[in-house]
Amino acid sequence: MLLNFGPCTVTRSSVDLGKTYGGVSLRLHLAKRTPVQTDYDQEELILGGEGEINFYSWPSSITLTSTTLLLDYAEVILTNANMTCKLKKCRIYFSDTLEIGTLQQNAIKCRLVFTADANSKVIELS
């Protein structure tokens, strides 16, 4: 399953991280389970997911040391005019590529990795 939606505002633990450029793309990681002893009665379970987000700007300076991790696990909320998407337990990583010195504006690309919280909730759409 892939979820795409346009420009949105990003909030992490009640802190506004700003707006996106070109929106967000999320992909869910699924596992199949057979609750009954038949192959025809399978369920798909959401284990977590990952995605890509393009920020207009970043609210503070970025310092990378031995990892590209920017923000550790917390609830991340993506809001646009039509939808709110809550990633219940999400990490934000800096991209492994960076364009500097070009004659164009480039988004700050970040990678999202999310998983279930303590209540087994992964994602909430409203």
For the chain, give every domain's residue range. Answer: 2-125
**Non-local CB neighbours of 97 within 8 Å, separated by 6+ positions:** 109
pTM given for the model: 0.82
Handedness of CA 58, 59, 60, 64 (dihedral sign): negative
- Amino acid type, 20: T
Element (H, E) at 79: strand 69-79
pLDDT digits over 88-107, tens only? 999 999 988 777 777 777 78
| Least confident piece of the model among 7-21, 32-46, 53-67, 102-116 | 32-46
